[in-house]
Amino acid sequence: MTESMPRWFENWFNEDYLTLYRHRDLADAGRQIALILSTLKLPKNARILDLGCGEGRHLEFLHQLGIRAFGIDLSPVLIGRGKAQFPYLSLAVGDMRKITGKFDLILSLFTSFGYFDDDSENMSVFLSVSQALTPGGTFWLDFLNPDYVRKNLKPETVREPEPGLVVTEKRRIEKDMVIKEIVFSSRKGGKHYEERVKLYGKDRLESMLRDAGLEPAGSFGDYDGRKWSPDMPRTILFAEKRGG
């Protein structure tokens, strides 16, 4: 792949992505937001940023609670959809590797990390987060659990998210990447996409966070706040910016 060719995340986060993941609703987002708010002691009028915010469903839940937050996403399609659906939210197209502004809390939810094959590029996200946090600010990372993924990976699933549309998802692990091939088939033809996520374990993530100047302060294994273990489905970490 040459530098001029688009990477998978530059093609995938569009209307087809929304069709595939439409089951991720506000109730699901609410569980995460409830866990965050019950765990962290946020300052009054805290500045909050959601990285890879998509349409803004987590921001919408915060808005319903009277909490204003900001969101950025690399996809103009998702940001445009979010602005149309939630015109009162603060959404913008942006790159998580180049965050502007200062925030008391930065969120990375629903595995919005590990998209790059190169470790240094993934690390650049943590460095960007660190420089954008206020001293003592918190980074909340909701990531997959590689141990759980390896044990529970389904090689292939087929779904019909809407009449006349069949989506086939084929999954495999290559070295330290989990790769999903996604094929949309309908009378109008077919479309092919790919997802690639680096399988960072909990210890490695915590080490990367420390290298970025963020001190891990706690972890969970799911959105209900259960203790992390290798058998839990998620690796949810929160870390504080040093110097607070």
Torsion angle (degrees, nearest 10) of CA 235, 159, 177, 143: -20
Instruction: Pick the more confident residue, 213 or 65.
Output: 213
171 and 62 belong to one structural domain: no
Tell whether 206 is covered by a domain: yes
Computed over every residue of the chain, the mean pLDDT equals 92
The predicted-structure confidence for 3-43, as pLDDT tens digits, reads as follows 456 788 888 888 888 888 776 656 777 889 999 999 998 88
The predicted-structure confidence for 48-96, as pLDDT tens digits, reads as follows 999 999 999 899 989 988 998 999 999 999 999 999 999 999 999 999 9
Place of tokens 């890879």: 52
75 and 139 belong to one structural domain: yes
Instruction: Pick the more confident residue, 1 or 127.
Output: 127
Whether 136 and 78 have beta carbons less than 8 Å apart is answered as: no
CA–CA separation, 138 vs 214, rounded Å?
8
108 and 205 belong to one structural domain: yes
35 and 153 belong to one structural domain: no
- Inform me whether the pLDDT recorded for 221 exceeds 60: yes
2 pLDDT tier (thresholds 50, 70, 90): very low
The predicted-structure confidence for 100-155, as pLDDT tens digits, reads as follows 999 999 999 999 999 999 999 999 999 999 999 999 999 999 999 999 999 999 99
Regarding pTM above 0.85, the answer is: yes
224 and 125 belong to one structural domain: yes
Q: How many domains does the chain have?
A: 2
pLDDT value of residue 4: 54
157 and 127 belong to one structural domain: no
Boundaries of domain holding 181:
149-195
Tell whether 2 is covered by a domain: no
Vertex 80, ends 79 and 83: CA angle to 5°? Answer: 85
94 and 133 belong to one structural domain: yes
Give the CATH number for residue 66. Answer: 3.40.50.150
70 and 190 belong to one structural domain: no
38 and 85 belong to one structural domain: yes
pLDDT value of residue 29: 79
Whether 143 and 205 have beta carbons less than 8 Å apart is answered as: yes
184 and 82 belong to one structural domain: no
232 and 188 belong to one structural domain: no
- The three-state secondary structure class of 98 is coil
Tell whether 187 is covered by a domain: yes
